[in-house]
Amino acid sequence: MTPLITVDRLTKDYRLTQRREGVLGGLVDLVRPRKRVLRAVDAVSFTIAAGEMVGYIGANGAGKSTTIKMLTGILTPTAGEVRVGGLIPYRQRQSYTRHVGVVFGQRTQLWWDLAVVESLRLLQKIYEVPEADYRQRLDFFNELLGLQEFLHQPVRKLSLGQRMRCDLAAALLHAPRLLFLDEPTIGLDVVAKENVRAFLREARDQLNVTVILTTHDLRDIEQLCRRVIIIDHGKVLYDGLLADLRRGPGHRLRLCVDLAEPVPGQQLAALTADLPVNWDGDGTRPEVPTHRHCATFSRAETNAAVILARVLAAHRVRDMALNEPAIEDVVRRIYRDGLILPVKETAVE
């Protein structure tokens, strides 16, 4: 399938002026400013198919927002290219924006002083949405987002959660083919976050919109995206299915056993000496006998069955549990250790 979005070796440099200290330094700055080049996005490539919902994640300053700004046409790249359905966002910005909806969690896309319904009416006019479509979509948004409660209040009087609901409706009013969400759940309470996620799932299915989502809350990703792209220092660290990320070496499982007799940890470690497994007890030293022991290992290197079989052969086991780490931990390990899977050419199934 032809991808909807093609990003090819996309690169963005910022030129920063470094100020010298003191009055004299200030004068020198005027004459000969000291420039430093910061590469915010470094040869990033990926493709996204129509209808995908992709999580684009990275630490602060990793280059997420810069990429999104180039994808939405606000910023021009230093090198490389973005193509979206045959258009180049930063060259054909005004035509392109008709197909795009954007939600920035940090600031609203609506007019601060206008009532919500007036903002939507103005957007209807700007995007030339036919009246029948407008009504139909407003009904859809009302049903899922409950806008009617505050439709006639000015945006500045809304709570953060209410405002986010309005922003989502505003971004989708013209039925864009593409939706960019930059931290859509930031600052929201648990219930409001859940509502936003439920709406996004529904919107994706009903409006056939392709979604790119950046977030710090990895539960957003877990609940919405099958595919993630992880970016760090401007480069793609991982591009693939979330499920594959779980199977990768960065994904450490934890098998805990509760033994009938207390045993020192070093005995268990000896059982699996040939396997890449780390044993720890309840915070005790390896020579102190305890009931409970946990093995941490990577599914890419060994598996729970092998470890458990060796433990069962030597000891009586009362109980056991296998814990999957949260996606947060997986991503944290990727950041910290740079443990990555080979970046696939295309991760589109």
99 touches other proteins by CB under 8 A: yes
Strand partners, 17: 35
Nearer CB in complex with other proteins: 208/346? 208
Side-chain half-sphere exposure of 338, counting CA atoms within 13 A? 3
Integer CA distances (angstroms), 265 to 295, 303, 331, in order: 10, 19, 29
What is the smallest separation between the CB atom of 200 and other proteins, expressed in angstroms? 19
* Out of 28, 43, 59, 87, the residue judged to bind other proteins by CB under 8 A: 87
Query: Exposed, middle or buried by CB within 10 Å (0-12, 13-18, 19+), for 29?
Result: middle
What is the smallest separation between the CB atom of 33 and other proteins, expressed in angstroms? 12
| Contacting range for other proteins; rule: CB under 8 A; set: 89-97, 130-138, 194-202, 245-253 | 89-97
Nearer CB in complex with other proteins: 180/297? 180
The footprint of other proteins on residues 169-198 (CB under 8 A) is 177
Concatenate the DSSP letters of all residues of 251-320 into one string.
-EEEEEEEEEEEEEHHHHHHHTTTS--EEE-SS--TTSEEEEEEEEEETTT--HHHHHHHHHHHS-EEEE
86 touches other proteins by CB under 8 A: yes
Our measurement of the distance from residue 77's CA atom to the centroid of its chain's CA atoms, rounded to an integer in Å, reads 22
CA gyration radius, the chain? 25
The amino acid occupying position 337 is: D
What is the smallest separation between the CB atom of 18 and other proteins, expressed in angstroms? 15
What is the smallest separation between the CB atom of 127 and other proteins, expressed in angstroms? 7
* Out of 9, 19, 34, 98, the residue judged to bind other proteins by CB under 8 A: 98
Residues 211-240: x where in contact with other proteins by CB under 8 A, - otherwise, as a string = ------------------------------
Q: How far apart are the first and last CA of the chain?
A: 9
Query: Exposed, middle or buried by CB within 10 Å (0-12, 13-18, 19+), for 131?
Result: exposed
* Out of 46, 56, 90, 150, the residue judged to bind other proteins by CB under 8 A: 90
Pairwise CA distance, residues 102 & 109, whole Å? 8
- Which residues lie closer than 8 Å to 206 by C-beta, 6 or more apart? 140
161 touches other proteins by CB under 8 A: no
Angle at 123 (CA atoms; ends 122, 128), nearest 5 degrees: 105
69 touches other proteins by CB under 8 A: yes
Nearer CB in complex with other proteins: 54/255? 54
What is the smallest separation between the CB atom of 94 and other proteins, expressed in angstroms? 5
Nearer CB in complex with other proteins: 160/294? 160
What is the smallest separation between the CB atom of 271 and other proteins, expressed in angstroms? 54
Pairwise CA distance, residues 164 & 141, whole Å? 12
The footprint of other proteins on residues 104-143 (CB under 8 A) is 104, 107, 109, 111, 113-114, 118, 121-122, 125-128
* Out of 94, 305, 316, 349, the residue judged to bind other proteins by CB under 8 A: 94
Q: Residue 181's closest CA among 159, 203, 162?
A: 203
The encoded tokens of residue 276 equal 């890449």
* Out of 28, 43, 49, 341, the residue judged to bind other proteins by CB under 8 A: 49
Interface ranges with other proteins (CB under 8 A):
1-4, 14-15, 49-51, 66, 69, 72-76, 84-87, 90, 92-100, 102, 104, 107, 109, 111, 113-114, 118, 121-122, 125-128, 177, 208
